[in-house]
Structure 1
Amino acid sequence: MPRIDPMVRLLLLAIFLATVLPVGGRWAGIAQFVSNAAVFLLFLLNGLRLPRREVIAGIGKWRLLLPLVLFVYAAMPAAGWLLWQGTGQVLPPLLALGFLFLGTLPSTVQSATAYTSLAGGNVASSVVAAALLNLLGVFLTAPLFSLLAGGHAAAFDGGGLFKVIAILLLPFALGQALQGTLGGWVSGHRQLVTWMDRSSIAIAVYVAFSNAVRQGIWGRIDPAGWAGIAAGCAALLLFGYGASWLCGRAVGLERGDRIAMTFAGAQKSIAMGAPLATVLFPPAAAGVILLPTLAYHLAQLIIAAPLASRLKAHSPT
C-alpha cells in the first residue's frame, strides 16, 4: 500500500481540526497573528535555501525556461480564468474564483523535482525551473490574480501591497541576504526545516478554513458544487500535463527537459497558495477561495507517481 505523503496528512488534519474545532471569537485575532508569523517564517526559510547560484546558472537554459515561464504565468492563468467563468453558474462565486487563484500560482519545488527524477527527466533543469518559477511567483502571483479578477476580488491596493511586502517579500529578501550566515544551518538541519515548512503551511490552512467553517462553507457546497470542483480540477490537470508536454515538444526540448517542463508546468504550489490566500484575502473569503487549490494539490500527488512511472517505462533505452 503506497505511503501517504506527510504534507497530505498534515493538510487533511488541518482541515479536520478546522471543521470540528474552528478558532473564533477573541482567539481569531491571535490565530491570524500566529498564521502571519508562520508565513513570515516560511518565506524566510525559502529565501535562506533558494540557491542563487543554481538560478543564475540556469538562466542560460532559455529554451526551457522562457516557454515554461510563459506557460505557468500566461497559459495556466488563462485556463484558470476560463474555469472561473465556466463554473460561476454552478459554484458559489468565491469558490469559482478559487480556480483563477489556482491558475496563477507557481509550481511546486520538491515534488516537481522528485517526480521528474522518478520519470527519468533532467533533475538539474527541474531544480532551476522550479526555483525560478517560485522566485517569480513571490512577485507575480498576487498582482496577476488581482489584474485578472478585476472587481471580483480584494483589490491589490496599498494595503494588499503592504501585506505582501511585509509578510512575503521582506522575509524572503532577508533569507537571501542571510544565506552566507545561516545557509549552512539550514542545510545541516533539513529535517527540522522541512517540519517547520510543513507546519507553517498547515497553520495557514487551519486558520483560513476555521474562518470558512464559521461562515458555513460545508453547508454552502451541495453535491453539484463538489462535482464542479472535481471536474474543474480534472480539467486543469489534463490541460496542465497535456499542454506542457506538447509545448515542450513544440519548442524542441529533449526528452529530459520535456519531462522537467511537464511537472514544473502542471503542478501548483500549496506552499505559496495557502500563505498567500491568508495574506491577500479577507478571513471570511480565504478558506473558500483556497479550496480548489487544496483539491488540486491532493489530486496532482495522486496522479503524479503513476504518470512518472509511465514516462520512465517509455523512456528510450
Structure 2
Amino acid sequence: MRDFFRRRWFLIFLVVSLTAGFGMPKPLEPVASAVPRSAVAATVLFLMALPLDASAIWNSVRRPQGVLLAVAICYGLLPLVAWGIAQALPNELAVGLMIAATVPSTLASAAVWTRHAGGNDVICLQVTSITYLMCTVVMPWWLVLTTGQSVEIDAGEMVTKLAMLVVLPTLAGQFMRIIPLVAQWASRNKSLLSTVAQVGILAIVFVGSVTGGIQIRAGQAVHPLVWLEVTVAIVVLHVSMLAAGHVFGRLVGLSRADRIAVGFSGSQKTLMIGLLVAVEFYSELALAMLPMIIYHVFQLLFDTLVADRFRQRQQAAEAN
C-alpha cells in the first residue's frame, strides 16, 4: 500500500483537487483566491528547469532528423489533427483540447519512459528545450487561429505573459546551472525538485477547479456523453501521434532507439503550461482546463504500458 501511494500520490491528489474544487467551489473560494497563481507557476517552471541539462540541444546540429521530426509532430501535426477533432466538441472543451494540443513537450516523463523503453532520451531533452523556447510564438499563433473566433484573446498579451511566466523562469533555472555546485545539487536532487514542482501543479489545478466549479454552477451541466466524447478524442489524438512518431521515424530511416524517443516526445504534453494558459487566458471557460488534465492522466497511464512493452521486447531480443 505504501509503495502504491509513493508511486501514485500525484494522481491521487490530482483527483482530490479536482473533486474538491468542482464539488465545493464556494466554501473553498477564499482559499483558492489566496494562491498566487503567477508566482506558483513561475516557481514550478524554474524548479522543473533547474535539473534539466539542456547542453545536449547543441548535439542536434549533427543529427537533427529525430529532433526535427518530434518537433514537427508536437507543434505541427498534433495541433492540426486536434483542430479537426475539436470541431465535434462543445466550445469550451474544443478550446481546452486546442490548449492541450499546443503546449510544449513534457519536461520529464518523455525522457523517463524513453530511457525505460531503451530509447534515446537525449532527443527528448532536445525536443523539450526547443518546444519551450518556441511556445511563446507558436502556441499563441495556433490558439488565435483555432479559437480566436469563439474566444476573445490578445495574442500580444499572451506572448508577453508566456515569456514572463514560462521562458524567464526556464532560462533562470538554466542560468543557475552555470554555477557548478548548483548544477551538481540539482542533478542529485531531481526527485525532490520534481516533487515540489508537482505540489505547485496541484495548487494550480485546485485554483482552476474552484474557478471552474463556480462557473459551472452559474451555467448548465455537461451531459455525460460529452465527457465520453472528449475522452475518446484525447485517446485517439495521443495514440495516433505516438504511432506517427514511429511510422514517420521508420520512413526517414531512424533507429529503433530514436523512433521511441520521437514517439514519446512528439505526443506527450506538459501539464503546467496548459493549466497556466487555461486559467490565465480562458478563465471564463469553466471546462477549458479539463482536456489538458485528461490528456496528462491518459499519457501517464498509457505510455507506461507502451514503455513496459518496448522494454520486454528489448529484453527478449537480448536474451536471444
Per the normalisation by structure 1, the TM-score is 0.87
CA deviation profile, 1:164-216 (whole Å, cap 9, x unmatched): 23322332333333332443443344343222210111111111111110011
Q: Is contact 2:133-2:167 (8 Å) kept?
A: no
Distance of aligned partners of 1:154 and 1:208 in 2 relative to their CA distance in 1, 3 Å threshold: farther
2:235 is the alignment partner of 1:246: no
User: What is residue 8 of structure 2 aligned with on the other side?
Assistant: 5
Q: Any residues of structure 2 matched to 1:35-114 within 5 Å, and which?
A: 35-87=37-89, 91=90, 93-114=91-112
For 2:146 and 2:157, the matched residues in 1 are separated by 19
Distance 2:43 2:141 in 1: 22
1:26 shift after superposition: 6.0
| CA deviations over 1:224-243 (Å, ceiling 9, x no partner) | 11111121112112211222
- From the superposition, tell whether residues 300 and 278 of structure 1 become closer, same or farther in structure 2 (CA, over 3 Å): same
Alpha-carbon spacing, 1:133–1:122, altered in 2? closer, same or farther (3 Å) = same
Please list, as runs of the form range in 1=range in 2, the aligned pairs for 1:266-285 lying within 5 A after superposition.
Answer: 266-282=267-283, 284-285=284-285
User: Residue in 2 aligned with 1:209?
Assistant: 209
Shift of 1:47: 4.0
Report the equivalent of 2:312: 313
**Does the 8 Å CA contact 2:238/2:299 hold for their aligned counterparts?**
yes
Deviation at 1:223, TM superposition (A): 1.5
- Which stretch shifts more, 188-197 or 223-232? 188-197
Q: Which residue of 1 aligns with 2:20?
A: 17
After TM superposition, the structure 1 = structure 2 runs for residues 125-204 of structure 1, keeping only pairs within 5 Å, are 125-181=123-179, 182-204=182-204
Offset from partner CA, 1:58-80 (integer Å, 9 cap, x none): 34321111111111111000011
Per-residue deviation at 1:261?
Answer: 0.7
Measure the CA separation in 2 of the matches of 1:222 and 1:259.
Answer: 38
Distance 1:172 1:312, change over 3 A: closer
Structure 1 pair 48–138 and aligned structure 2 pair: CA distance change class (3 A): farther
Separation of aligned partners in 2, 1:128 and 1:162? 24
Secondary structure of 1:49 counterpart: coil
Change (3 A) 1:265 1:30: same
| Counterpart residue type for residue 10 of structure 1 | F
Instruction: Please tell me whether the aligned partners of residues 98 and 291 of structure 1 are also in contact (alpha carbons under 8 angstroms).
Output: yes
Any conservation in 1 of the 2:33–2:207 contact (CA below 8 Å)?
A: no
8 A contact 2:32–2:206 mirrored in 1: no
Deviation at 1:138, TM superposition (A): 4.8
Unaligned runs of 5+ in 2: none
- Unpaired stretches in structure 1, ≥5 consecutive residues: none
In structure 1, how many angstroms separate the alpha carbons of the residues matched to 2:8 and 2:252? Answer: 34
Which segment is superposed worse, 163-172 or 104-113? 163-172
CA distance in 2, matches of 1:188, 1:157: 39
8 Å contact from structure 1 (residues 164, 280) kept in 2: no
Confirm or deny: 8 A CA contact 1:107 1:130 kept in the other structure: yes
Alignment coverage as a number of residue pairs: 309
What letter corresponds to residue 110 of structure 2 in structure 1? A
CA, structure 1 residues 10+56, in 2 after alignment: closer, same or farther (shift >3 Å)?
farther
Q: CA RMSD in A?
A: 2.5
Letter in 1 for 2:139: T
- TM-score normalised by the chain length of structure 2: 0.86
